[in-house]
Amino acid sequence: MRRLAPMLLAALAVLAAACEKKTQPTGEAGGQPAAQAPATAQGGGTPPAGDDVIVLGEVGALTGGQATFGISSRNGIALALKEANAAGGVKGKKLVVRVYDDQSKPEEAAQAVTRLITQDKVVLILGEVASSSSLAMAEKAQAAGVPMITPSSTNPSVTEKGDNIFRVCFIDPFQGFVMAKFARENLKLNKVAVLQDNKSAYSIGLTEVFRQKFAEMGGKITVTESYSQGDTDYRAQLTAIKKTQPEGIYVPGYYSEVGVIARQARELGLKVPLMGGDGWDSEKLFELGGSAIDGSYFSNHYSPDNPDPRVTKFIADYKADYNGAVPDALAALAYDAARVAIEALKNAPDTSGPALRAAIAKTKDFPGVAGNITLDEKRNAVKSAVVLKVADGKSTYVTTISP
């Protein structure tokens, strides 16, 4: 397949790069109204020169199979920058962000990060969501000495790429433990099958931990079946799973496949609950899965049902900018990642890589909307997870599980 150049979503965005009119935030983009910002532009271009701006970089899946992840993340980052600039920016300078679409492809994410570093001269990078894409990006950022914060990539290997790589979310070992514990203690399940994406670092990591923890808690894994991202027929794997008579099925994949898997499972007479991770978090899950996904559960980073005032304010502000849309966990985590970056820019003596890296590493008890953030010695966030239940086209809070 021919490799496509990453698409630059906006030449300059103080909010986010422009997309469809219905999702554009209010305010200005690089000094011009957001609605007038170009929808797409080939290539990287040149960020504004001068001492009055600080240029950040963002890479996300704005098209392709994980597009809702990238759009939510872009919106969350845009809101954080809008608020910071309204409060005077950082040390008197305006924050701008250069946004690239990686089309849900790790190789495009790597190319986009290289362009951000070598052409756009960004001081810090935000992204990605998918762990496979963040792994590709992290290699480039680490080699260049440019700090990178992933809002929501949970595979442990991402931050293991080096001391310039950070995250504001929990990691797969904890997320796998959360759902294993929930399956055993809350759902009282004894036998569970697993259906994993064997080409996804995210899915493989969650599978490994879930299998281990569920067994340690006295449960039995009846079988582990695999598919590849982009598949559309899962009936053979589901038929093999059905023969083992599980009481639940753990499906640690992305919404784009999980919804279809749920429909085909019900068609084959598998009525047991499905369980998964934060990769399920998308409005598209309900569209793809319909009523077949009802009665299923997934671990996540935050719930919009949380009555905390900072969460309710974030939701109100987000809805005001995005036509009433309720922010998902990807938007919340991206908002938090951008705010951690902004705080580091305020605290660092300058915008050099070493100075920013040191400032980010000192993050402790930061008041995020997806939970307080303290970064450990491996640059991972230590925080709780929530479990949500899917029913009637929405997800609702069930419980919180702490480390």
Q: β-strand 366-368 against 296-300: which pairing, if any?
A: unpaired
Contact 83/139 with Cβ under 8 angstroms? no
DSSP conformational letter for 25 = P
Q: What whole-number percentage of the chain has pLDDT above 70?
A: 88
What local confidence, expressed as pLDDT, does residue 301 receive? 94
| Residue 59 shares a structural domain with residue 80 | yes
| Residue 320 shares a structural domain with residue 288 | no
| Residue 196 shares a structural domain with residue 284 | yes
Backbone φ, ψ for residue 349 (5° rounding): -70, -25
Task: Tell me the per-residue pLDDT of 284-315, one tens digit each, with 9 for 90 and over.
Answer: 999 999 999 999 999 999 999 888 899 999 99
DSSP conformational letter for 5 = P
Contact 80/366 with Cβ under 8 angstroms? no
| Residue 80 shares a structural domain with residue 157 | yes
| Residue 77 shares a structural domain with residue 163 | yes
The token pair at 17 is 């790069």
| Within a domain: 388 | no
Using CA atoms, how far apart are residues 153 and 110, in angstroms rounded to an integer?
15
Which residues, 6 or more positions from 119, have their beta carbon under 8 angstroms from its beta carbon?
44, 45, 46
What local confidence, expressed as pLDDT, does residue 50 receive? 59
Contact 171/160 with Cβ under 8 angstroms? no
Using CA atoms, how far apart are residues 130 and 150, in angstroms rounded to an integer?
9
Q: Tell me what the mean pLDDT of segment 179-205 comes to.
A: 96
| Within a domain: 254 | yes
Of 48 and 286, which is predicted with more confidence? 286
Task: Tell me the per-residue pLDDT of 55-114, one tens digit each, with 9 for 90 and over.
Answer: 999 999 999 989 999 999 999 999 999 999 999 999 999 999 999 999 999 999 999 999
| Residue 104 shares a structural domain with residue 152 | yes
Q: Tell me what the mean pLDDT of segment 382-401 comes to.
A: 93
Instruction: State which residues form the domain around 185.
Output: 173-300
pLDDT of residue 237 exceeding 90, the answer is yes
| Residue 255 shares a structural domain with residue 361 | no
Helices (H) and strands (E) in the chain, counts: 11, 18
CATH number of the domain within which 161 lies? 3.40.50.2300
The mean pLDDT value of the chain amounts to 88
| Residue 89 shares a structural domain with residue 179 | no
What's the order of all strands across the beta sheet hosting 394-401? Answer: 220-227, 191-197, 248-250, 274-276, 296-300, 385-391, 394-401
What local confidence, expressed as pLDDT, does residue 51 receive? 76
pLDDT of residue 256 exceeding 60, the answer is yes
What local confidence, expressed as pLDDT, does residue 138 receive? 98
Q: Of the candidates 261, 279, 300, which is a domain's last residue?
A: 300
pLDDT of residue 32 exceeding 60, the answer is no
pLDDT of residue 14 exceeding 60, the answer is no
| Within a domain: 270 | yes
pLDDT band at 22 (very low <50, low <70, confident <90, very high): very low
Alpha carbons within 13 angstroms on the beta-carbon side of residue 403 total: 14
Task: Tell me the per-residue pLDDT of 219-230, one tens digit each, with 9 for 90 and over.
Answer: 999 999 999 988
Alpha carbons within 13 angstroms on the beta-carbon side of residue 295 total: 13
Q: Of the candidates 300, 316, 334, which is a domain's last residue?
A: 300
| Residue 244 shares a structural domain with residue 283 | yes
DSSP conformational letter for 207 = H
Residues across the chain: 403
Contact 353/323 with Cβ under 8 angstroms? no
* Entry pTM: 0.78
| Within a domain: 325 | yes
Q: Of the candidates 250, 272, 300, which is a domain's last residue?
A: 300
What local confidence, expressed as pLDDT, does residue 88 receive? 96
| Within a domain: 244 | yes
pLDDT of residue 378 exceeding 50, the answer is yes
| 67-86 vs 309-321: helix crossing angle, rounded to 10 | 100
Tally of domains within the chain: 2
| Within a domain: 41 | no
Using CA atoms, how far apart are residues 189 and 248, in angstroms rounded to an integer?
7
The token pair at 118 is 């070598």
pLDDT of residue 385 exceeding 70, the answer is yes
What local confidence, expressed as pLDDT, does residue 73 receive? 97
pLDDT of residue 34 exceeding 60, the answer is no
| Residue 165 shares a structural domain with residue 314 | yes
| Within a domain: 400 | no
| Residue 147 shares a structural domain with residue 248 | no
Q: β-strand 371-373 against 385-391: which pairing, if any?
A: unpaired
What local confidence, expressed as pLDDT, does residue 37 receive? 29
| Within a domain: 204 | yes
What local confidence, expressed as pLDDT, does residue 288 receive? 95
| Residue 104 shares a structural domain with residue 194 | no
What local confidence, expressed as pLDDT, does residue 338 receive? 98
What local confidence, expressed as pLDDT, does residue 48 receive? 53
Task: Tell me the per-residue pLDDT of 271-284, one tens digit each, with 9 for 90 and over.
Answer: 999 999 999 999 99
Using CA atoms, how far apart are residues 27 and 20, in angstroms rounded to an integer?
15
